Amino acid sequence: MDNLPRLLRSPERAHLVLADGTVFSGFAAGAAGVCEGEVVFNTSMTGYQEMLTDPSYHGQILVLTVSHVGQTGVNDADAESDRVWARALIVQDLDETPSSWRAADGLEAWLAARGVTVGWGFDTRAIVRHVRTHGALPGVLVADGSDPAAFRSAARSARGTDGLDLAHDVACTRPYAWTEGPWPTMARGDAGGPLVRVVDFGVKRSILRRLVGEGFRVEVVPPAIDPGVVLADEVAGVVLSNGPGDPGAVAGARELVAEIVGRKPLLGICLGHQVLGLAVGGRTVKLPFGHHGGNHPVRELSTGRVLITAQNHNYAVEEASLPREVEVTHINLTDGTVEGLALPRLGIESVQFHPEAAPGPNDAAGLFARFAERCRTTREGS
């Protein structure tokens, strides 16, 4: 019996206790423990390593709707940061042994070594239906052999993401240069290219790679940076990155972006898009259960073209709150929420979705080329 894979050796039970008292049960893997977080589900068919290492999942228990997880293992190239940010992972079926030439380790062993708890054998369809019906809920994943009834009170008092500044938890604390480009040119940084500064609210590596691929020199700076550093003469443009949590709670972000608006070409992505919306006078609202997945249809209003996009957010910019001079450029075809903003005369564009994908489709990758052209045109005209 000792030679059996660990997942087949009389596994411990695990339980997801939601704030409304609902309990779902399965088995425990990864690191034993009790984890608290907001429960969200992602509908992508692939890309679990990118999701787990995406800083935007900080504070959340990630439920995957795809039936089988772990077949391709994990590898260094697919990591979007240097650690796992999701609080825990819940899946229907977990493959312990990968079958991929790219795999450097199995998913379950990799998560266990990093202290991350996994629930498997759960009815993920039932969890997703509950969240879609009742809205995003915090909860507690109990995976240490404890009685779930003992955690009902903890689940009721568990916090979601409202009012939490999670971006400062995941962001860098000092500037650093990024030179790695997109696959297959994995080390392409152009020492003579224009400089772009990326305000780090929880940036994914794939965003930085795309920027290098457009010929930029890339420097990542913390969100508590002095506006003068971001606006220095040598800076060709500014990117506001993705990140976790409530955009309205990110200390100093709205004020920083308000200083940048109109003074440098600007690209906002996900949380960066939301912070831009706040900086120009809009409001953000929390969606019932967010958008998380690689199959979200978005219409580009100027062309009528529909993009299939990768998304990962719980908040959206409220269209009715925006000043008249702000142009809505994209809308979500599922619920009509704002997916893009622009102030064309100021060289500003932002999108709620992820143009870098990772995981997801590449329909919107052209946004990076458009940003590069704005930066070049602005510098040539100055």
Q: Is the peptide bond before 148 cis (omega within 30 degrees of 0)?
A: no
Closest C-alpha to 35, from 75, 79, 90: 90
Q: Residue 270 catalytic?
A: yes
Tokens of 342: 């622009």
Residue range 110-166, pLDDT digits in tens: 999 999 999 999 999 999 999 999 998 999 999 999 999 999 999 999 999 999 999
| 356 catalytic per annotation | yes
> Which tokens is 115 given?
């202290």
- Residue ranges and CATH numbers for the domains of the chain are 6-156 (3.50.30.20), 167-381 (3.40.50.880)
Statement: residue 263 has pLDDT above 90: yes
Contacts of 36 (CB under 8 A, 6+ apart): 87, 138, 139, 140, 141, 154, 158, 159
pLDDT score for 152: 95
144 backbone dihedrals φ, ψ, rounded to 5°: -130, 20
pLDDT band at 378 (very low <50, low <70, confident <90, very high): confident
CA 343, CA 365: separation in Å to the nearest integer? 20
Asked if 30 and 89 touch (Cβ cutoff 8 Å), the reply is yes
Q: Which residues contact 128 (CB under 8 A, 6 or more apart)?
A: 41, 63, 65
- At 187 the pLDDT is 53
pLDDT at position 8: 59
d(CA 118, CA 30): 5
Calculate the CA dihedral of residues 270, 205, 120, 72 and round it to 10 degrees. Answer: 130
Identify the pLDDT of residue 186. Answer: 46
Is 4 a residue whose pLDDT tops 80?
Answer: no
Quick one: pLDDT band at residue 223, thresholds 50, 70, 90?
very high
Mean pLDDT of all residues belonging to the chain: 94
Mean pLDDT throughout 374-379? Answer: 84
Q: Give 6 or 339, the one with higher predicted confidence.
A: 339
Q: Rounded to whole angstroms, how far apart are CA atoms 270 and 254?
A: 14
Amino acid type, 219: E
Q: What is the pLDDT of residue 192?
A: 72
Which two structure tokens, joined as six digits, stand for 369?
Answer: 């080329």
Say how far apart CA 48 and CA 331 lie, in whole Å.
26
Sheet with 284-300, side-by-side order of all strands: 176-178, 217-221, 195-199, 235-240, 266-269, 348-351, 338-343, 327-332, 284-300, 306-317
Instruction: Pick the catalytic residue from 35, 270, 292, 339.
Output: 270
pLDDT average, residue stretch 75-104: 96
How far apart (Å, rounded) are the C-alpha atoms in residues 231 and 359?
Answer: 32
Of 382, 368, 351, 349, the C-alpha closest to 265 is 349
Give me the pLDDT at residue 175, please.
Answer: 97
What integer pLDDT is reported at residue 6 of this predicted model?
60
* Beta carbons of 306 and 299 less than 8 angstroms apart: yes
Q: Which of 80, 168, 354, 375 is catalytic?
A: 354
Per the model's pLDDT, the better-predicted residue between 11 and 200 turns out to be: 200
Query: In the chain, where does DSSP find H-type helix?
Result: 48-52, 107-113, 124-134, 152-156, 167-170, 205-213, 227-230, 253-260, 271-279, 366-381
Instruction: Give the whole-angstrom CA distance, residue 256 versus residue 300.
Output: 28
